[in-house]
Amino acid sequence: MNIKILRRVLEKNDSAAAENRIWYNRHHITCINLLGGAGSGKTAILEALLPELQTELRCAVLEGDLATTRDADRIAALNVPVLQLLTDGGCHLTATHVQAALHELPPDSLDLLFIENVGNPICPANFDLGEHLRISVLSVAEGDDKPSKYPLLFRDATLALITKVDLLPHVKFDLAQVREDLRRLNPAVRILQTSARTGEGIGDLSAWIMERALCLTAV
């Protein structure tokens, strides 16, 4: 019974995700799904990244959270269009959550859409939102065992982002082991190290996103 129910939920989600992807493509908008646990640094990365991206691309953000608009307020302070998606206790965004929000966006004024998913390393990875690129975030403060403990978070990622690397001298985190574990789970994944606090790696991340976004929006 539980298997059948889950299958129906995922089938409904996948149908909405396919419709979302058609909408992105029709309007030449690149969509990035940003996933990671609570406190992994997703919003801080966006705060560091968006000012660079906006020199070339028109950006917007959908913010997924259980409650409050605090992360959305941080993005709005950058003068970036942002919509808050509250799940009312749900542990992840679904493609239908996103689909409802797309009608509130000005598609002809956008090149790049970030979806910052709910802070959870488990459930969001199961749900396709129609994104073109999936960035999975792991902070060094979370521990080096997370790729092995939460493999689904990284298995389908286009990019694995290791954040808060300025804390490496102060935490126990085997960077080489994490890279090995990520490659074992996802041989094709690109791995980048960043620090929103010092700016390390933000330029490389911006260039990586910009290259792919410009290619997709030109199609």
pLDDT of amino acid 9? 66
pLDDT of amino acid 5? 47
* 114-124 residue pLDDT tens: 999 999 999 99
For the entire predicted model, the pTM comes to 0.94
Alpha helices in the chain (DSSP H): 2-26, 42-53, 70-76, 95-102, 146-149, 151-155, 175-185, 202-217
Separation of alpha carbons 130 and 61, rounded Å: 15
Report how far Cα 128 is from the mean position of its chain's Cα atoms: 12
* 50-93 residue pLDDT tens: 999 999 999 999 999 988 899 999 999 999 999 999 987 789 99
3-state secondary structure of 117: coil
Q: Which residues are bridge partners to 138 per DSSP? A: 162
Q: What is the chain's pLDDT, residue by residue, as a tens digit (219 residues)? A: 444 544 666 789 999 999 999 999 999 999 999 999 999 999 999 999 999 999 999 999 999 998 889 999 999 999 999 999 998 778 999 999 999 999 999 999 999 999 999 999 999 999 999 999 999 999 999 999 999 999 999 999 999 999 999 999 999 999 999 999 999 999 999 999 999 999 999 999 999 999 999 787 666
Candidates 3.40.50.720, 3.40.50.2000, 3.10.20.30, 3.40.50.300; correct CATH number of 2-217? 3.40.50.300
Whole-number average pLDDT of the chain? 93
Q: What is the DSSP letter of 189?
A: -
Dihedral in degrees, nearest 10, Cα atoms 157, 133, 90, 161: 50
Separation of alpha carbons 182 and 151, rounded Å: 9
Residues 6+ apart with CB under 8 A from 23: 29, 102, 107, 130
